[in-house]
Structure 1
Amino acid sequence: MQIAPNTVASLAYVLTDTQGDILDQADAQHPFVYLHGAHNIIPGLENALSGKQAGEELEVTIPPELAYGLKDDNLLQQVPRAMFAGADEEHIVPGAQFHAQTNAGMQTIVITAVDGDTISIDGNHPLAGETLHFKVKILEVRAATKDELSHGHAHGPGGHHHH
């Protein structure tokens, strides 16, 4: 069976950046499982996997435009320390990540600098602007169940379990 819309694929992969540093990985014991065609993964990877079958291996280089987008300078902001009221002081340091509800939904915000009562934040995805390199092995391809199709994601081992 080929990977196509409404199929569920199980993958083992290693994701590296341009410097060769490993950013993420999944193996056969703990595969990454997704519903193809439901926008559950970045477009560049979904496009590359389309039409592939279990047992195939591929290496894919994905530019930022087909991954997590280019860095958006509009998402770089300076905010008052008061916006972090309730957060422990030791967490208000450069590199700290917070989840924030925004107009675009839940986003990860990273503190880039702390200058007294002014906190610089970056709302870009941590991999925005990165070219991503995937080494993928397709472990399994199967038809999605009615539940998976109605929920828009894979269920079962490696997929989503509870609602």
Structure 2
Amino acid sequence: MNISADKAITINYTLKDNEGKLIDESKDSSFIYLHGHHNIIPGLESALNDKTKGDTFDLVLEPKDAYGEYNPAITQVINSSAFGDEKVEVGMQFHAEGDDGQPVLITVSEINGDDVTIDGNPPLAGVTLNYSVEVMDVRDATEEELSHGHIHAHGESCGHNH
């Protein structure tokens, strides 16, 4: 069965940066997603089209096909008092509401005295991604998975009232 829209895909992958540093990896067929529903980055989803169970491949994705270019315009320096009594450290992450009302992941990227630099870029923005991928399984998604737009692990409900 070839990978196409509305299929439940299980892959194993290793993700490294251009220096060979491990960024992420799946283990034991633990990464399952619904193909064609924007549940993974565009370049990887596109590369998986028409692959079949057992296929392996390496893929280099430039930022435009992954998490986008780094945008310095979505960083901001705020006063540490905005965090109240919470101890703020570089690398801390929290969610804020974006201009479109959707949650945005914000990362504390620098602290200089009372000045805290926050960054709304995805952590891998501007990074060239190097994937090694193995397609472990391809199956038809269930009606429930299709209606919800994502895969339910081991046939379980996702717990959302869709």
Three-state SS of the structure 2 residue aligned to 1:59 is: strand
> 1:159–1:141: structure 2 CA closer, same or farther, 3 Å change rule?
farther
Three-state SS of the structure 1 residue aligned to 2:132 is: strand
* Alpha-carbon separation, structure 2, partners of 1:9 and 1:26: 13
* Alpha-carbon separation, structure 2, partners of 1:112 and 1:65: 22
* Alpha-carbon separation, structure 2, partners of 1:81 and 1:121: 11
- The number of residues matched between the two structures is 159
* Alpha-carbon separation, structure 1, partners of 2:128 and 2:78: 29
* Alpha-carbon separation, structure 1, partners of 2:26 and 2:119: 28
Three-state SS of the structure 1 residue aligned to 2:47 is: helix
1:58 aligns with 2:54: no
Contact 1:95 1:111 in 2 (8 A): yes
State the TM-score, normalized to the length of structure 1: 0.90
Choose which of 117, 122, 126 in structure 2 pairs with 1:125: 122
Choose which of 124, 138, 142 in structure 2 pairs with 1:141: 138
Unaligned runs of 5+ in 2: none
Q: Over the residues paired in the alignment, what is the CA RMSD in angstroms?
A: 1.8
Cross-structure match for 2:89: 93
Unaligned runs of 5+ in 1: none
Cross-structure match for 1:35: 34
Indicate the percent of aligned positions where both proteins have the same amino acid.
Answer: 39
Greater shift in the superposed pair: 126-135 or 107-116: 107-116
State the TM-score, normalized to the length of structure 2: 0.90
Greater shift in the superposed pair: 109-118 or 12-21: 109-118
CA apart distance, 1:30: 4.3
1:55-109: CA deviation from partner (whole Å, max 9, x where unpaired) = 000111111001000001111111122321242x2xx122222222322422222
Over 4 Å off, 4+ runs: none
Cross-structure match for 2:13: 13
Contact 1:33 1:158 in 2 (8 A): no
